[in-house]
Amino acid sequence: MLYNNLAYHLHLIGDPAASDYIREGIKLAQEKGSLTHLPYLYSTSGEIALAHEELDVAEQYFRDGLSLAEQIPIPERIAGCTANLGLVARRRGDVTLARERFREALKKAEEIGSHHLEVRIRIWLAPLLPSPQARQCLDKARALAAQDGLQSLLEEISQVEQKLPNP
């Protein structure tokens, strides 16, 4: 998980070394037979690939992560990988599939009470919904983000709201 966390944070700041660390993490987890770590490593690998517009690679990592997360099971990673597959669909312009994936992931995030993930998914889902539904989705996201003190997500919610058509 150290490799995963390091790679993820390097990815967030745009450091290309993220790819090297995530590959090392996957290699180590596979060598040690640490299946519980692989869904996280595959998810981060997919996020890195998605950022580089490598959609097929990203999708495969997310699918592999989802498959393992379902086998183990790791509910948070099931929700996260499902949401990430929604991001791939959205990037490909498949709004219907993206909405479907986000709604599926949102349901799973709600079931496990993962507010951060739920808020994040709602931020991704809202622009794909008709304006009244989008605003309702963001209102729920705002309430959860405020309750949990997720300031950066509150800012993202405001940015998404500003881009929505007026009711």
88-135 pLDDT, tens digit per residue, is 999 999 999 999 999 999 999 999 999 999 999 999 999 999 999 999
Euclidean distance between CA atoms 77 and 67, whole angstroms: 10
Tell whether the torsion through CA atoms of 23, 2, 70 and 99 is positive or negative. Answer: negative
pLDDT digits (tens, 9 = 90+) for 7-66: 999 999 999 999 999 999 999 999 999 999 999 999 999 999 999 999 999 999 999 999
The pLDDT value given to residue 2: 94
Residue pair 65/38 in contact (Cβ under 8 Å)? The answer is yes
The pLDDT value given to residue 115: 97
The count of residues in the chain is 167
Tell me the pTM. Answer: 0.94
pLDDT band at 166 (very low <50, low <70, confident <90, very high): confident
The pLDDT value given to residue 49: 98
Q: Is the pLDDT of residue 167 over 80?
A: no
DSSP 164: S
Cis upstream peptide for 165 (omega within 30°) = no
Structure-block tokens of residue 159: 């940015």
- Average pLDDT of span 127-146: 97
The one-letter amino acid at 71: Q
